[in-house]
Copies of this chain bind each other. A is one copy, B any other.
Amino acid sequence: MKQSQLFTKTIREAPKEEQSINAKLLTRGGFVRKLMAGVYTFLPLGFKVQKKIEEIIRNEMNSVAGQEILMPALHSKKNWETTGRWKYPEMFKLKNRSDKDFSLGWTHEEIITPLVKEFINSYKDLPFYAYQIQDKFRDELRVKSGLLRGVEFLMKDLYSFHADEKDLDSYYEKMKKAYFNIFDKCGLSTKTFLTLAAGGTFSKYSHEFQTLTTSGEDEIYLCKKCKLAVNKEIIKQEKNKCPKCGNKSLSIEKAIEIGNIFQLKNKFSKVFNLNFVGKDKKEKLVFMGCYGIGLSRLMGAIVEINHDDKGIIWPKEVAPFLVHLIQVENNQKINKVAFGLYEDFQKQGIEVLYDDRQDKSAGEKFVDADLIGLPLRIVVSERTLKVNSVELKLRDKKETKLMKIKDLDKFLNNYV
């Protein structure tokens, strides 16, 4: 895409009300705009990042046999009364013109459990896994962490349905791996800990995926002896000891929860009478699991972890474009070479943002490039063309180097 055609612009200062690094940088770079506390618009660059994250998650969910669906955001009171969660204070409630009660979904157990009832009769219908990537709503009291805590936010939620606990256990383990694959591609896996959390009534533990960052709203406890991480709730239960080895010197770290997985077991199938006839011809309750990732939050966390004082440093897999092609100065020769490269890259399927703006200085363009944070910067100028070259710079490295234009294709093929 030509940058001259991108309708957004970068800004030097984020609005004062934005306190978090992710909101500051994403706002300054033109990725998002706040409509109100916890509610953001994704602008073209931010939308592209969101789509990349979505595709990474979709691929992983498909690889564990997830079947994609889309459930509504608008829920009926009836479903939530059945489980006794209608009173949940974070749930937005509303009425229509006929005074009927509705709520806005923040999770979908109340919708999917009755939905799948008609499709489950026998053990032969199990297991299966349904997921969606869908807009959620939570009436949060304090929202000051940009995309890390949203009032409206995109989430992937998968629900699994099993004939017995063993099958649930085995899928649960698969999902742990799938989640780490996702976080790996998002550049977060080295800072992300599988963290023991309270499991509700039926499971001993559930698991959170906690990413270490000073801007995190959570605290987790790390045992360096056995590499275990536990959340606040668990450490209280365990009286400040590691639940595995008993070690008492745990380090406390700020973290942000970017995903969670939970064995619901029979909790919801009991309430909604989600039964099946087993091999032994006896009627049994379905075992369920649920597995969430906040997409907007993930985007915020990526920025919290991957930035410097100049701007964002996008990991390759989630960058809105791979290459920032910058033309410095305007004359016929430079225009021709730069535009030629732009067309070449596109033909090769390399995503490129081409800074063709004529009213910006080289300095302004470089500042913008650092702020927007694409992985590879390629500069075409009078100086580089004198030696038939372009200047390359990786966003996460300091050095620049000249490369002959004829060698560029080979370099890019290796880099992509």
Contacts and interface: CB of A to CB of B under 8 A. Distances in A.
Given A36-B76, A76-B36, A116-B7, A111 B70 contact: no
A34 to B, nearest CB: 10
A39 interface: yes
Contact of A6 (B5, B67, B97): B67
Interface in A62-82: 65, 67-76
B93 A94 contact: yes
Interface stretch (A133-141, A169-177, A272-280, A300-308): A133-141
Interface stretch (A43-51, A206-214, A364-372, A393-401): A43-51
Interface in A222-276: none
Nearest to A98: B141
Interface string A377-404: 0000000000000000000000000000
A4 to B, nearest CB: 9
Number of copies of this chain that the complex holds: 2
A92 B94 contact: yes
A67 B94 contact: no
A36 B77 CA distance: 11
Tell me the dominant secondary structure on chain A's binding face.
Answer: mixed
A231 B46 CA distance: 40
Contact of A97 (B11, B124, B139): B139
Classify chain A's interface size.
35 or more
Contact of A41 (B11, B41, B72, B76): B72
Interface centre among A92, A93, A359 (most CB of B within 10 A): A92
Interface string A1-23: 00001111101000000000000
A416 interface: no
Interface string A86-101: 0001001110111000
A408 to B, nearest CB: 27
Given A41-B111, A115-B41, A119-B7, A151 B69 contact: no
Given A41-B71, A47-B68, A115 B76 contact: no
B139 A33 contact: no
A92 B92 CA distance: 12
Contacts of A72: 35, 39-41, 152
A180 interface: no
A9 B117 CA distance: 11
Nearest to A100: B36
A128 to B, nearest CB: 4
Contact of A73 (B7, B11, B43, B135): B135
A130 interface: yes
A339 interface: no
15 contacts: A8-B119, A35-B71, A35-B72, A35-B111, A41-B115, A50-B70, A73-B152, A89-B97, A92-B94, A92-B102, A96-B139, A96-B151, A97-B141, A98-B141, A124-B359
